[in-house]
Amino acid sequence: MEERNQSQRILNAAYKCISTKGYANVSLRDIAEEAGVVLSQLHYYFGSKEGLFTEVIKMMIDKYLKEINEALSVGETAKDKMLSLVKFFKDLLKNNPGLFKLLYDFTGLAMWSSSFNSLLKDLFNDLSKMIEEKILSNSALGENFKNYSPRAVARMILGAMFGTGIQVILDSNENEILDALNATQIIFE
Q: What is the pLDDT of residues 137-170, one digit of tens each?
A: 767 666 667 788 888 889 988 998 888 888 888 8
- 39 and 60, same domain (yes or no): no
Q: How far is CA 168 from CA 26, 163, 165, in A?
A: 23, 9, 5
Residues 18 and 106 in one domain: no
* 23 and 88 housed in the same domain: no
Chain CA centroid to CA 1, Å: 29
Distance CA 43, CA 31 (A): 12
The model's pTM is 0.82
User: In degrees, to the nearest 5, what angle opens at C-alpha 144 toward C-alphas 100 and 134?
Assistant: 50
pLDDT one-digit tens code per residue, 32-67 = 999 999 999 999 999 988 899 889 889 888 988 999
- Same-domain pairing of 60 and 138: yes
Per residue in 79-127, pLDDT (tens digit) is 888 889 888 988 888 888 888 888 888 888 889 888 889 999 999 999 9
Are 96 and 180 part of one and the same domain? yes
Domain holding 135: CATH number?
1.10.357.10
Strands (DSSP E) found in the chain: none
State the residue range of the domain holding 16. Answer: 1-47
Q: Domain total for the chain?
A: 2
